[in-house]
Structure 1
Amino acid sequence: MDETGQTQPPRRGRVRSVVALTGVLLAIALFLGLGVWQVERRAWKLDLIARVDARLAAAPVPAPGPPDWAGIGRDDEYTRVTATGHFLNDHETPVLAVTIHGSGSWILTPFVTPEFTVLVNRGFVPPDKRDPATREAPDGEVTVTGLLRLAEPGGGFLRSNDPAAGRWYSRDVAAITAQDGLGPAAPYFIDADATPNPGGLPIGGLTVVSFRNTHLIYALTWFGLAAGLAALAWRSRRF
């Protein structure tokens, strides 16, 4: 009551209600925004998958040469390419790999064409075949067909490449070519296809092309949270 004995309106309670309602509305708007964002991400991911599938199904094209290197990016990855030249077998680099055949190494070897040099991931070898002396090496001019892949700088999960010690956890094109003293080389590497190598090793064609696409589940989750919060708010207002 005030000094005249009259009861004051419950102003504090109304303020709390307004603040609570504002918070609920902001949370609903946030959940709806996140849901819409996931729908947009899903559309982008489906378009990406469709474009990559088209590249995988297309006929191979010549591996990009120096005039095209500056423009190479994500839209070129997994393009089927081909190149003719010879391997520098004494400069191969083993990179840690885990495949359907178990743990071992990718064998990255410089490949010299008439116009440029490019690293080729010839495929997987088990630990007991990591030493090049235990395997046959391709000799003379050969043609390589595979997938254009972007470099993997730095290293693997929680492990950095150590060129001086010869420990490689990622296919870091710039670092590997610099370590081998190859000079300018393509800024990408080629994942060789399953064409058999001499003696059966390395095993090519093991590229895994897979894109995680859970955006619809996330979108439904955010929309569901928005709907549930709106229902709770409506129920609390009624009772």
Structure 2
Amino acid sequence: MNEATQPGMRRATAIVVLAVSALALAVLLALGTWQVQRLHWKEGLLATIQERTTSQPHSLQDVETRLTTTGDVDYWPVRVGGVFHHEGERHFFATWKGASGYFVHTPLELDDGRLIFVNRGFVPFDRKDPATRPEGQVQGRVEILGLARAAITEKPSFIVPDNDPAKNIFYWKDSRAMAATSGVGAPDDYVGFFIDADDAPNPGGLPVGGVTMIDLPNNHLQYVVTWYGLAAALCGVVGVWLWRMRKVT
């Protein structure tokens, strides 16, 4: 190769390397910044969950007012009374404490005649059929203490399977479809949020209550360090490479 062309080729190589490195650096910094934002969001969420779950139970009317005024009722403790309609159980696919099965959502007829779905807790796959757990089908008026959970109106992600109401298997909480297929009342008869029952034991041991996940993982700081660390390492590698290129020229 002609010696006169070597400096030009080195300059071209340096330009390409710098351009690619700049693009990679921008991506790494963007990922790190996004994780910083996620960290602040997660810390705020955990603080909100802690504040709400440790507060005194609220009345149904109070939580409904919060729903109307703020649209945010997640994790507020609520106490309600009514009668379960076990024939309307809807089953939500779930993994809990390493086991797969279902969360049992049962219509509760409130004292005012309206209905609300109560997540009574977890049952294994082989106990999906209510006939396998008759002791837990509590009769008569009950008092329920639990956490309010927001209803959703659309599938949260394309990776979530479609609900299968015909088999009574739900993968996301489509409240209207759950109400419409329960055989208990009409969708408009239901209060606009769910209740996750607390861990008070049910007769026969099933369903197992208290399934609300409140200890959410928070690994965002580790991701921040990873992405920013990779950005710093990239800068170091490119800097050393440029220094060696200068020595060659």
TM surpasses 0.5: yes
Aligned to 1:80: 77
**TM-score relative to the length of structure 2:** 0.76
Amino acid at match of 1:45: K
Aligned to 1:105: 102
CA 1:132–1:168 in structure 2 vs 1: closer, same or farther (change >3 Å)?
Answer: farther
1:61 maps onto 2:58 in alignment = yes
CA 1:141–1:222 in structure 2 vs 1: closer, same or farther (change >3 Å)?
Answer: same
- Give 3-state SS (helix, strand or coil) of 1:194's partner: coil
CA 1:154–1:10 in structure 2 vs 1: closer, same or farther (change >3 Å)?
Answer: closer
Aligned to 1:212: 217
- Which structure shows the bigger proportion of residues in helix conformation? 2
Deviation (angstroms), 1:224: 1.6
CA 1:36–1:133 in structure 2 vs 1: closer, same or farther (change >3 Å)?
Answer: closer
Aligned to 2:35: 38
CA distance in 1, matches of 2:176, 2:52: 25
Amino acid at match of 1:213: N
Aligned to 1:29: 26
Aligned to 2:87: 90
CA distance in 1, matches of 2:101, 2:224: 39
1:125 maps onto 2:130 in alignment = no
CA contact (8 A) 1:69 1:186 kept: no
1:213-234: CA deviation from partner (whole Å, max 9, x where unpaired): 2222221122222221211222
1:60-100: CA deviation from partner (whole Å, max 9, x where unpaired): 11235666545665x42222111122222332233444434
Structure 1: runs of 5+ lacking an equivalent: 1-6
- Give 3-state SS (helix, strand or coil) of 2:145's partner: strand
1:157-176: CA deviation from partner (whole Å, max 9, x where unpaired): 76432222333444432211
Amino acid at match of 2:179: T
CA 1:16–1:88 in structure 2 vs 1: closer, same or farther (change >3 Å)?
Answer: same
CA distance in 1, matches of 2:191, 2:54: 24
Q: Counterparts of 1:1-239 in structure 2 under 5 Å?
A: 10-11=7-8, 13-63=10-60, 69=67, 73=71, 75-100=72-97, 102-113=99-110, 114=112, 116-126=114-124, 127-128=126-127, 130-132=129-131, 134-136=133-135, 137-151=137-151, 159-181=161-183, 182-183=185-186, 184=188, 185-239=190-244
CA 1:231–1:107 in structure 2 vs 1: closer, same or farther (change >3 Å)?
Answer: closer
Deviation (angstroms), 1:38: 1.6
Deviation (angstroms), 1:49: 0.9
CA contact (8 A) 2:67 2:73 kept: no
CA 1:162–1:155 in structure 2 vs 1: closer, same or farther (change >3 Å)?
Answer: farther
Aligned to 2:247: none
Deviation (angstroms), 1:204: 1.3
Deviation (angstroms), 1:154: 5.3
CA 1:129–1:44 in structure 2 vs 1: closer, same or farther (change >3 Å)?
Answer: closer
CA-based RMSD: 3.2
CA 1:105–1:231 in structure 2 vs 1: closer, same or farther (change >3 Å)?
Answer: closer
- Give 3-state SS (helix, strand or coil) of 1:206's partner: coil
CA distance in 2, matches of 1:33, 1:55: 33
Deviation (angstroms), 1:56: 1.4
Q: Which region of structure 1 is more displaced relative to structure 2, 31-40 or 183-192?
A: 31-40
CA distance in 2, matches of 1:155, 1:33: 24
Percent identical residues: 35
CA 1:160–1:10 in structure 2 vs 1: closer, same or farther (change >3 Å)?
Answer: closer
CA distance in 2, matches of 1:38, 1:176: 35
CA 1:57–1:234 in structure 2 vs 1: closer, same or farther (change >3 Å)?
Answer: same
CA contact (8 A) 1:24 1:233 kept: yes
Amino acid at match of 1:172: D
